[in-house]
Amino acid sequence: MIMNIASRVHLAGLVCLAGSMLQIIYGLLSIPFPYAQSIAAWPEILWALANVGMIGGALGLLALGVARPGWIALIGATLTILGNLIRIVVSALLILFPLQDAYVPLILVSIFLVVLGMGVLGITTLLGKQLSGWQAWTPLLAGGFTFIPASIYSISLFFHFILLGLWGLPWMLVGYVVFTHAAKQEMVAQVSGATTGK
């Protein structure tokens, strides 16, 4: 049972790592292909997949059981995932019906939910005191970094999209934390199972 949970957390960490890499690629590709001047579908597909990675990160952090109290952490993860799901729906709508301005309210709601959710998850992770050093701060970093690309949106769309890609870096750290801690839990479960078997 413990081994099963650890395997799923392991998978969530991998999903988060993959999503963060796609997010960084999204930012890099915005340099030769400015998204503000494009109606192509592939940037939105990339961004939707990046959001799937964020969902993996939030689920992985929750499943690790490092946040306290657990029920507040659950609220944080739920808010984050809801924000990501809304953004994935917006990506689908932008591909099918490319009317950028029509979806701005939904995008703002999704950003608010992700920031709030990761803030709650980050605070409960710190309160849990199960992670040490920089690793304990990764959820707050992932949520807080959102303010950087958001603040530059009205100043420069070119840099806004590059910074959205750089937002993948803190998510990569979240994925790393989830992945490595899940691997440790899996190893402990294996050793425990072998000992019990004797």
pTM of the model: 0.92
Question: Of 79, 34, 36, 44, which Cα lies nearest the Cα of 59?
Answer: 79
- CA neighbours closer than 13 Å in the CB half-sphere of residue 154: 3
| pLDDT, position 1 | 55
Joined together, the tokens standing for residue 158 give 């070119």
Q: What are phi and psi of 67, to 5 degrees?
A: -100, 145
Q: Residue 80: which pLDDT band, with cuts at 50, 70 and 90?
A: very high
CA 47 to CA 87: how far, in whole Å?
A: 9
pLDDT at 39: 76
pLDDT score, position 101: 79
Return the pLDDT at 57. Answer: 97
User: Model confidence over 37-53: pLDDT tens digits?
Assistant: 777 899 999 999 999 99
In the predicted structure, residue 12 carries a pLDDT above the cut 60: yes
Least confident of 66-75, 93-102, 109-118, 188-197: 188-197
Give the model confidence (pLDDT) of 102-161 as tens digits.
899 999 999 999 999 999 999 999 999 999 999 999 999 999 999 999 999 889 999 999
Q: Pick 152 or 2 by higher pLDDT.
A: 152
Tokens of 53: 């990675």
pLDDT number for residue 192: 66
- What's residue 113's pLDDT? 98
User: What does the alpha-carbon distance between residue 165 and residue 130 come to, in Å, rounded to a whole number?
Assistant: 29
pLDDT for res 185: 75
Q: Is the pLDDT of residue 194 over 70?
A: no
Residue 172 has pLDDT above 90, yes or no: yes
Measured from the Cβ of residue 133, the count of other Cβ atoms closer than 10 Å reads 6
Band of the pLDDT at 32, cuts 50, 70, 90? very high
Give the 3-state DSSP-derived string for the chain, with helices as H, strands as E and coil as C.
CHHHHHHHHHHHHHHHHHHHHHHHHHHHHCCCCCHHHCCCCHHHHHHHHHHHHHHHHHHHHHHHCCCCCHHHHHHHHHHHHHHHHHHHHHHHHHHHCCCHHHHHHHHHHHHHHHHHHHHHHHHHHHHHCCCCHHHHHHHHHHHHCCHHHHHCCCCCHHHHHHHHHHCHHHHHHHHHHHHHHHHHHHHHHHHHHHHHHC
